[in-house]
């Protein structure tokens, strides 16, 4: 099968040429048609110039997408996936911490029948307190909440069949949830141990501050997994609970007035009745609005959440055509 390697980059000038050499040295012996699809995410350090040199040096394999500004790794990965033409898409970081030699193993697992193979950096070469420890905690929390067994959701090294990868909607910082989103669509997923190297050049773009964003994205993923197609199932439950509370407190208020002659104006249960009834109405309204938005989404064309400045080496024959 033909292969597309998607690599998002942001200020990785020192790593570009080395990464191209390692990828070329790994992919050529495999005997598979391949393309290297680099996506520059608003670099300001000369990364684009290095990528343009590679595109001139290896026009048969190197493709280049250049963003007008920095949109984030998720947008860069989404753009690369949508532009890929290989039957299998391999995603990886551009900082040389992922090992291109692991690509052979990922492709072999795809050949065995899996739809997505994602890496597990069991011997991760990063700082413990601000990288490894938050990652371990986040992975355990995500695995428990989503009921998807995984050790390393943050590993960018993945191989996925193109038809599945291009069906997944990526926005915000959802790229790390690709295995979960693919599993939701029925993909057969497998986690394998991969190599990991310490960063030699440049600076990491992530720190402990991303923990908050991961937690918020986890809430979004949980909602997408369980209530994406029918939001009323979520908001309706809250609405019914609030309505039941309003009915119970209202009945108790009337009973206290009828039996014990309790003054309604000073009864807190009356306030609870009114409050619960209003909250119930709001939850039902949110559910209806969510249903309308879901219907609009499912009937609307796909929209891009990024803007391209340039496309390089996309005019010639692509890897699927060469494979044929």
Question: pLDDT tens digits, residue range 209-266?
Answer: 566 777 777 777 888 777 777 888 889 999 999 999 999 999 998 888 888 777 777 7
**Radius of gyration for the chain, computed over Cα atoms and rounded to the nearest angstrom:** 25
Using alpha carbons only, give the angle 59, 61, 66 rounded to the nearest 5 degrees. Answer: 75
Tokens of 256: 């206290």
> Does residue 271 carry a pLDDT above 60?
yes
Q: Within 13 A of 64's CA, how many CA atoms are on the CB side?
A: 24
Is 247 strand, coil or helix? helix
Q: Look at residue 206 and tell me whether its pLDDT is greater than 80.
A: no
Q: Would you say residue 130 has pLDDT above 70? A: no
For residue 146, the number of C-alpha atoms closer than 13 Å in the C-beta half-sphere is: 29
Domain that residue 77 falls in: 3-228+303-323
Q: Give the whole-angstrom CA distance, residue 176 versus residue 168.
A: 12
8 A C-beta contact, residue 77 and residue 41: no
Q: 7 and 82 in one domain?
A: yes
CATH number at residue 118: 3.90.550.10
Exposure string over 234-250, b if 16+ CB within 10 A, otherwise e = bbbebbeebbebbeebb
Q: How far apart are CA 36 and CA 6, in angstroms?
A: 6
Provide the mean pLDDT of the chain: 85
SS3 content of the chain, % helix, strand, coil (to 5): 55, 15, 35
Residue 79: burial class (beta carbons within 10 Å; 0-12, 13-18, 19+):
buried
Same domain, 152 and 206: yes
pLDDT greater than 70 at residue 306: no
Quote the Cα angle for 217-221-226, to 5°.
150
Residues 109 and 239 grouped into a single domain: no
Other beta carbons within 10 angstroms of residue 97's beta carbon come to 22
Fill in the DSSP letter of residue 102. G
- In the predicted model, what is the mean pLDDT of residues 152-174? 87
The helix-helix angle for 133-146 and 210-227 (nearest 10°) equals 10
Q: Domain check: are 67 and 146 in the same one?
A: yes
Opening angle at CA 146, ends 141 and 152, nearest 5: 55
- State whether 275 and 131 are in the same domain: no
If asked whether residues 319 and 236 sit together in one domain, one would say no
- Euclidean distance between CA atoms 275 and 72, whole angstroms: 42
Provide, rounded to the nearest whole percent, the portion of the chain with pLDDT above 70: 88
Tokens (6 digits) for 286? 């949110």
pLDDT of residue 324: 41
Q: How many domains does the chain have?
A: 2
Q: Where are the beta strands (DSSP E) in 244-324?
A: 308-312
Distance CA 93, CA 179 (A): 16
Question: pLDDT tens digits, residue range 17-62?
Answer: 999 999 999 999 999 999 999 999 999 988 999 999 999 999 999 9
Question: Do 178 and 65 sit in the same domain of this protein?
Answer: yes
Whether residues 17 and 55 share a domain: the answer is yes
220 with 245, same domain: the answer is no
37 and 161 share one domain? yes
Q: Do 190 and 54 share a structural domain? A: yes
Please check whether residues 224 and 236 belong to one and the same domain. no
């Amino acid at each position: 099968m033909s292969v597309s390697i998607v690599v998002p980059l942001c200020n990785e000038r020192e790593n570009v040429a080395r990464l191209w050499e390692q990828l070329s040295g790994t992919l050529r012996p495999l005997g598979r048609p391949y393309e290297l699809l680099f996506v520059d995410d608003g670099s300001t350090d000369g990364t684009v110039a290095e990528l343009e040199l590679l595109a001139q040096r290896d026009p048969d394999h190197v493709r280049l997408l250049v963003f007008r500004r920095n949109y984030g790794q998720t947008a860069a990965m989404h753009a690369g996936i949508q532009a890929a033409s290989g039957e299998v898409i391999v995603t990886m970081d551009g900082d040389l911490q992922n090992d291109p030699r692991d690509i052979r193993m990922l492709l072999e697992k795809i050949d065995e029948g899996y739809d997505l193979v994602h890496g597990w950096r069991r011997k991760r070469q990063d700082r413990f307190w601000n990288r490894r420890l938050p990652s371990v905690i986040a992975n355990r929390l995500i695995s428990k909440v989503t009921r998807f067994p995984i050790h390393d959701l943050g590993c960018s090294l993945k191989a996925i069949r193109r038809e599945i990868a291009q069906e997944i909607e990526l926005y915000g910082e959802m790229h790390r949830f690709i295995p979960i989103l693919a599993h939701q669509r029925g993909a057969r997923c497998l986690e394998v141990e991969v190599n990991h190297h310490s960063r030699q050049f440049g600076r990491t773009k992530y720190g402990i501050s991303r923990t908050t964003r991961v937690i918020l994205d986890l809430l979004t993923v949980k909602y997408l997994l369980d209530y994406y197609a029918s939001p009323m199932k979520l908001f309706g439950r809250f609405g019914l609970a609030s309505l039941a509370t309003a009915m119970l407190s209202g009945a108790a208020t009337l009973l206290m007035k009828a039996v014990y002659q309790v003054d309604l104006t000073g009864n807190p249960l009356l306030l609870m009745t009114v409050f619960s009834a209003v909250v119930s109405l709001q939850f039902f309204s949110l559910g209806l609005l969510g249903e309308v938005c879901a219907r609009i989404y499912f009937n609307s064309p796909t929209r891009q959440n990024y803007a391209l400045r340039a496309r390089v080496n996309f005019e010639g024959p692509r890897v699927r055509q060469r494979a044929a």
